[in-house]
Each structure stands twice: as structure tokens, then as C-alpha cells.
Structure 1
């Protein structure tokens, strides 16, 4: 695996490094020891999948708060998504800055999302599937969100929004 720092401290793109032969390839996508060597959470307690039937679907912007704040490793396993991170840590050099990356079934890239960073994505294809690895079990009372088009976040979505949950539409604007 190759870890590539993003402009958001503690967030990484994680690229598999395939070993190819006549059968296809084999690539490691997660290793507790390699994550730990960078000081990252590497033990994940839960995995979840998000299936998005229609192109243009937006999910987010989601985060969780202490004492159940989550670290996530997110990978697109079907289709393609435009994945967005927003740094919500007031003491961070990238506070309220965003970073976006294309995650596709072809590039197999993952995003490592540390505690304090909101996450959302837009499906760029029909039938986009996203795998989440999460370091702790989900606790609904710790779940929070920001409105997907909050002007304070300056997030640009590449496609018209075609589907979004009522919950995501109702999130408030960010206030520090």
C-alpha cells in the first residue's frame, strides 16, 4: 500500500499496489501494522456498505462526536463517487477546508478519515457502492451532520443533486 497525505492533516489516500500476473492481480488494501507505523487507527470494529442506485445521489456531510467519534476507511467497490472531506477541528491548520477525491472501482483508492473530519460523497454512476470500515460500533446519539450545500464549507459537487435524504437536507449550517 501507498499512503498519500491530503491537505487535511491526518487524512490520507490509501492506494493499493497490485502485483499482477496472468490471473489478474493481488493487492493488500489494509494492514494494521502499516497503519500503526503512521500513527493511524488500523483496527476496525465494524464495516458497512452504502448502495446508491442513482447517479447524482449525495450522502453527507456526516461526522460523529465524542465519546463515540469515528475514524473511517472508505473505498468505492462499485461504480464511482466524488468523495469529500471537511475538517471540523478548530485547532487544525485546515479548519473548514475541504478535500475531494474520485474513488472508483477501477482506481481502488481508499480515504482514511480521522476523527473530527466530516465526510460525504456524490455518486458519479448509477449503482455506486461504498464500503466503510469504522473503528468503533455506530452510536446514533453521536451522529451529526452538516448541510451538503452549507456556504461556510465551500464544497462543490460535480453533478446536479438528484437524490438526497430528508435528514441530510435538514442539517443546519456550520457554526463554530
Structure 2
């Protein structure tokens, strides 16, 4: 497992290493001991799966408000997604920046998202599954977000037409 910094303070790409042979492969999905070596320590409080049956599906940009900020580790376990995080922490040196990465079942990458950073993704294939590990349980009253095309963050999403999005996400306001 390798861990590299992104352009967002406290966010990292985690690259899992496949061990392959004639049977297939073995992949460690999560290892807190490896994260601790990089001063990234969090206890998994909740794990969730997001199944997306159609390409172009958008979920995000979501986060939990104080005091319920959650660390997330996100991995695509089937298909491919364009994954995005945005730094909304006003006291952060990277406030206002965003970071994007393709996560797929083939590349084995995960993204470590710090608390109070917003997260979203867009599916690049049908039948895509995204797995989340969270350091805080979901608190419905703390759930928040902003519009996925917010010009403040100017995320260059791969597809802007023919998207599939919930009414809630479609009607989100801009961050600023």
C-alpha cells in the first residue's frame, strides 16, 4: 500500500497493491496499520455501498457539518468513477481547491478524505459500485452539500449532459 498527498490538505490517494496468480488476485481493502505509518489513524464507524446502475450518475457534493465532520476512505469496487473532493474548510491552507481522480476496480486506488471536505462522484460505466469507510456515523441533521457544478470550485466533470441525479442534489445551492 502506498499513500501520496493530493493538493488538498489532509487528503491522500491510497494505492493498494494486488497480489496476482493463476487463481486471480488478493487485495487488502483497508489497513489501519498502514495508514498509521503516515499519521492517518481513524477508526471505521460505518461502511456503505453505493450501487449506480447507469453511466453519468452524479452523487454529491456532500459533507457533514460540525461537529460531525467525517473522515471517509472511498474506493470503487466495480466499474469506474470520476471522484471529486472540495476543500470547504475556511481555516485550511487549501480552502477553495478541489482534487479529482479516477477510481476503478482495475486501478485499486482509494481516496482518503479529511473531515469537513465535500465529496462527490460521477459514474463512468454502468453498474458501478462505490464502497465507503467512514470515521463517523451518518447524522441526518448534519448532512449538507452544494451543487455539483458550483462555479466557485469549477470542477471539470467529464459529462455535463444526460446525467442522472437525485432531485435533492439537482436542487442544491452553490457553496458561496
TMscore range, shorter length: over 0.9
Aligned partners of 1:75 and 1:110 also within 8 Å = yes
The offset of 1:44, in angstroms, is: 0.5
Give the Cα separation in 2 of the matches to 1:7 and 1:101: 12
Equivalences for 1:82-97 in 2 at 5 Å?
A: 82-97=82-97
Deviations 1:83-122 (A, max 9, x none): 0010111122221111100001111111100102100000
CA RMSD of aligned residues (A): 1.2
Q: Secondary structure at the match of 2:137?
A: coil
Which consecutive unaligned segments of at least 5 residues does structure 1 have? Answer: none
Aligned partners of 1:78 and 1:130 also within 8 Å = yes
Counterpart position of 1:146: 146
**Structure-1-length-normalised TM-score:** 0.94
Counterpart position of 2:171: 170
The offset of 1:36, in angstroms, is: 2.0
Equivalences for 1:61-140 in 2 at 5 Å?
A: 61-140=61-140
Aligned partners of 1:41 and 1:71 also within 8 Å = no
The offset of 1:28, in angstroms, is: 2.1
Give the Cα separation in 1 of the matches to 2:146 and 2:9: 20
Counterpart position of 1:160: 160
Give the Cα separation in 2 of the matches to 1:160 and 1:149: 9
Give the Cα separation in 1 of the matches to 2:59 and 2:46: 19
The offset of 1:171, in angstroms, is: 1.5
The offset of 1:19, in angstroms, is: 2.4
Give the Cα separation in 2 of the matches to 1:22 and 1:79: 22
Which consecutive unaligned segments of at least 5 residues does structure 2 have? Answer: none
Q: Secondary structure at the match of 1:35?
A: helix
Give the Cα separation in 2 of the matches to 1:21 and 1:95: 44
Aligned partners of 2:53 and 2:126 also within 8 Å = yes
The count of aligned residue pairs is: 175
Runs of 4+ in 1 over 4 A off after TM superposition: none
Aligned partners of 2:77 and 2:130 also within 8 Å = yes
